[in-house]
């Protein structure tokens, strides 16, 4: 299947926990757009809250799209034309004001580039303000003030309270609106039948693309509909379990580890993509060397970094021996995740031999790193084998295990062999 549209959620998907787009995630999205594949952002945020993300990803240059308010408004970011919009019935905000007073929740909606709050803004409304960068305007006369069309209203409170009133509010407005929680502290009220899938259907018609040609990726409850609707639905590794349950695939890494740039490729996926393991391996290795740079550090440096972390936590330094003549090197990648794969990088052993000063042993530490020990260190291969086995048996989780073998690199012949 040739995919022609990528749809991404923002929070928890495109951005990390700090609400930032990492360089590698940005690079992956830009590369896709350069190849002529449009990208759409589908978010519960208001339009203003998406501007910075869309601009950072050069949406205007490539003609990509923004779906704000969970899809209640669709904008062509190149022309800034609103090509679809659906509002709540005009009387809904007034009724919700009465509900907010009755249940003791906060209530907000949007006007232009501002958040309108019915009460003194609570901590949850301020969270929305920080995420969207929109100022909050308190309107004590909210009930009479909001007499204009709005795309969305949100009741705010702690998760326990909203969980208890959600079914009540949903039943009350079932004929007029759609009610769901996007976060434990946000109970959103949107126009009837508005969710990401419903509005993506309209975008697909405009673009002349079939749903089977669309990939959707997200992490939250409000992403479930589009993940189910897409030809390929992808859940982030950090997604809610209910989201993972409906996804076709799950990313290997979370949003803090450039998750949208990776999915787990099964035999079924390879068959669907009409490729084989050799081609996938070649592409994966090439991309890994570019994205996950190798990192080679003396053990003393690693211990020093560990000591700093211990001190920050108020704990004692390690009692491990520091620098020695032939200290081992830790070999991993710049993320420290699945870093043992760097031993597959081109000429990695030659670079290690130059750094170490000759032949060396490779000791599999875990899937995240390996140790490189100089052959001049005076340890026998049997002693090294015992070290590796003890670490594997006592220090690793089952899914972190790599190998019990000891390998030796010969610099003269540029060869690697199992020696124990």
Task: Give the max Cα distance, the chain.
Answer: 84
d(CA 401, CA 340): 11
Same-domain pairing of 71 and 200: yes
Does residue 287 sit within a domain? no
CATH number at residue 163: 3.30.1240.10
Q: Last residue of some domain: 239, 272, 305? A: 272
Q: Are 203 and 40 in contact (CB under 8 A)?
A: yes
CATH number at residue 41: 3.40.50.1000
What average pLDDT is seen over the chain?
88
| pLDDT, tens digit (0-9, with 9 covering 90-100), for 223-238 | 999 999 999 899 999 9
Q: What is the pLDDT of residue 148?
A: 95
Q: The pTM is what?
A: 0.64
| 315 has a pLDDT exceeding 70 | no
Domain count, the chain: 3
Same-domain pairing of 355 and 245: no
Does residue 282 sit within a domain? no
Provide mean pLDDT across the span 305-317: 52
Q: Last residue of some domain: 242, 272, 302? A: 272
d(CA 180, CA 334): 39
> How much of the chain, in percent, has pLDDT values that exceed 90?
65
Same-domain pairing of 54 and 98: no
Q: What is the pLDDT of residue 322?
A: 45
Provide mean pLDDT across the span 141-160: 95
Burial class (CB in 10 A: 0-12, 13-18, 19+), 234: buried
Same-domain pairing of 296 and 414: yes
The Cβ of residue 175 has, within 10 Å, a number of other Cβ atoms equal to 8
Provide the pLDDT confidence category of residue 59 given band limits of 50, 70 and 90.
Answer: very high
Same-domain pairing of 179 and 201: no
Same-domain pairing of 203 and 349: no
Q: What are phi and psi of 289, to 5 degrees?
A: -65, -30
Provide the pLDDT confidence category of residue 58 given band limits of 50, 70 and 90.
Answer: very high
Same-domain pairing of 352 and 211: no
Q: What is the pLDDT of residue 319?
A: 46
Domain of residue 155 covers: 92-191
Least confident of 50-64, 245-259, 321-335, 361-375: 321-335
Q: Are 320 and 306 in contact (CB under 8 A)?
A: no
| 311 has a pLDDT exceeding 80 | no
The pairing of strands 415-418 and 407-410 is: antiparallel
Does residue 279 sit within a domain? no
| 312 has a pLDDT exceeding 60 | no
C-alpha closest to that of 14 among 290, 335, 288, 259: 259
Residue with tokens 């039943």: 171
| 323 has a pLDDT exceeding 70 | no
| pLDDT, tens digit (0-9, with 9 covering 90-100), for 263-309 | 666 666 667 667 777 887 887 788 788 777 899 988 888 676 555 55
d(CA 99, CA 300): 62
| 37 has a pLDDT exceeding 70 | yes
Same-domain pairing of 99 and 174: yes
| 251 has a pLDDT exceeding 50 | yes
Same-domain pairing of 173 and 206: no
Does residue 137 sit within a domain? yes
Does residue 382 sit within a domain? yes
Provide mean pLDDT across the span 362-369: 91
Provide mean pLDDT across the span 47-64: 94
Does residue 242 sit within a domain? yes
Same-domain pairing of 175 and 119: yes
b or e along 157-174 (b: 16 or more beta carbons within 10 Å of the residue's beta carbon)?
Answer: beeebbeebeeebeeebe
Same-domain pairing of 306 and 411: yes
Does residue 281 sit within a domain? no
Same-domain pairing of 21 and 170: no
Provide mean pLDDT across the span 314-319: 50
Q: Last residue of some domain: 220, 238, 272? A: 272
Provide the pLDDT confidence category of residue 320 given band limits of 50, 70 and 90.
Answer: very low
Does residue 148 sit within a domain? yes
Q: What is the pLDDT of residue 141?
A: 95
Provide mean pLDDT across the span 189-217: 93
């Amino acid at each position: 299947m040739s995919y022609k549209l990528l749809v991404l959620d923002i929070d928890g998907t495109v951005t990390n926990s700090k609400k930032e787009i990492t360089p590698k995630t940005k690079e992956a999205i830009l590369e896709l757009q350069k190849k002529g594949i449009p990208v759409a952002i589908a978010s519960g945020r208001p339009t203003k809250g998406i501007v910075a993300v869309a601009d950072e990803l050069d949406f205007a240059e490539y003609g990509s799209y923004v779906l704000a308010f969970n899809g209640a408004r669709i904008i062509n970011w190149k022309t800034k034309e609103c090509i679809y919009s659906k509002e709540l019935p005009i009387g809904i905000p007034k009724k919700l004001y009465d509900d907010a007073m009755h249940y003791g929740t906060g209530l907000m909606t949007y006007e232009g580039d501002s958040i309108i709050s019915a009460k003194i803004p609570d901590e949850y409304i301020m969270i929305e303000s920080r995420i969207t960068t929109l100022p909050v305007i308190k309107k004590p006369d909210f009930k009479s003030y909001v007499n204009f069309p709005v795309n969305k209203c949100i009741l705010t409170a702690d998760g326990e309270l909203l969980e208890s009133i959600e079914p009540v509010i949903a039943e009350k407005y079932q004929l007029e609106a759609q009610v769901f929680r996007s976060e434990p502290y946000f109970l959103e009220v949107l126009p009837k039948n508005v969710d990401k899938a419903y509005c993506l259907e309209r975008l697909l018609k405009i673009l002349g693309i079939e749903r089977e040609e669309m990939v959707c990726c997200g992490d939250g409850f409000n992403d479930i509909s589009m993940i189910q609707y897409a030809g390929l639905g992808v859940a982030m590794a950090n997604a809610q379990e209910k989201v993972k349950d409906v996804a076709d695939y799950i990313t290997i890494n979370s949003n803090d580890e450039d998750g949208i740039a990776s999915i787990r490729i099964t035999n079924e996926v390879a068959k669907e993509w009409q490729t084989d393991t050799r081609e996938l391996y070649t592409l994966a290795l090439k991309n890994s060397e570019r994205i996950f740079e190798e990192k080679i550090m003396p053990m003393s440096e690693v211990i020093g970094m560990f000591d700093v972390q211990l001190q920050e936590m108020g704990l004692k330094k390690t009692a491990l021996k520091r620098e020695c003549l032939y200290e081992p090197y830790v070999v991993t990648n710049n993320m420290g995740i699945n870093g043992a794969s760097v031993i597959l990088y081109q000429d990695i052993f030659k670079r290690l031999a130059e750094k170490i000063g000759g032949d060396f042993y490779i000791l599999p530490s875990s899937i995240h790193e390996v140790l490189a020990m100089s052959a001049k260190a005076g340890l026998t291969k049997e002693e090294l084998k015992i070290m590796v086995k003890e670490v594997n048996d006592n220090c690793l989780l089952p899914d972190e295990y790599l190998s019990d073998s000891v390998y030796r690199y010969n610099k003269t012949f540029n060869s690697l062999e199992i020696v124990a």
